[in-house]
Amino acid sequence: MKIGILLYQGFDEIDAIGPFEVFENAIANGADADVRLYTLESTDQITASHGLRVGVDGVLPEPTADDRPDLLVVPGGGWAAKKPEASAWAEAQKGEVPDAIAAYHAAGVPIAAVCTGGMLLATAGVTDGRRAITHGSAINELEATDAVVVHQRVVDDGDIITAGGVTSGIDLALHLVEREFGESIAAAVATTMEYERRTEPYSPA
């Protein structure tokens, strides 16, 4: 399984790096997966919301490409502050990230979002009529869209999976590991990371 994490200027560090570490630990524990950090434009590095500079693996492939990710993960960051220069909010205004999300969703690729990454999904229209959650600071804005807001740390609505604020991305990633690779690998990852999982995810199934 190819997993892509889509980065942009001002993303929140833990939103992306937490899931990245979960997926890498899953691979170390036997998951047949590959995880990469992508951007929409060619660059050597991206600066996150707290100033961490992160190297990237390349430009996100087209959604019809053979090497596209089988799962796209979208972090949040800086939405509440409405930072115009670097944040999830800024990306929502620009439109390229929501357009990429919409294109991937239209191509049948599952989309996961952490924190206010959920607002980028909402901007893309992929949460319309779908169950979803976002960071508490943006709940009112998510409720103003056509999403069905579920007040749960992780919300699994099939091909749309969302999580609340920041550290909930670790729970989202562990849930995806369990969903795709089995409970034993997810448990091994949680043990390796000494992470105590928080609540059962919401799933209509």
Q: What is the pTM of this model?
A: 0.97
Write out pLDDT tens, residues 86-128.
999 999 999 999 999 999 999 999 999 999 999 999 999 999 9
Given a cut of 80, whether residue 205 has pLDDT beyond it is: no
83 Cβ partners below 8 Å, 6+ apart? 10, 89, 90
Q: What is the mean pLDDT of the chain?
A: 96
The domain limits of the chain are: 2-112+166-192
- Mean pLDDT is lowest, of 33-42, 49-58, 196-205, for 196-205
Per-residue model confidence (pLDDT) at position 58: 98
- 66 neighbors 72 (Cβ within 8 angstroms): no
CA geometry: angle 147, 148, 151, nearest 5 deg: 120
Residue 189 pLDDT more than 70?
yes
Q: Which fold has domain 2-112+166-192?
A: Rossmann fold (3.40.50)
- Percentage of the chain exceeding pLDDT 70: 100
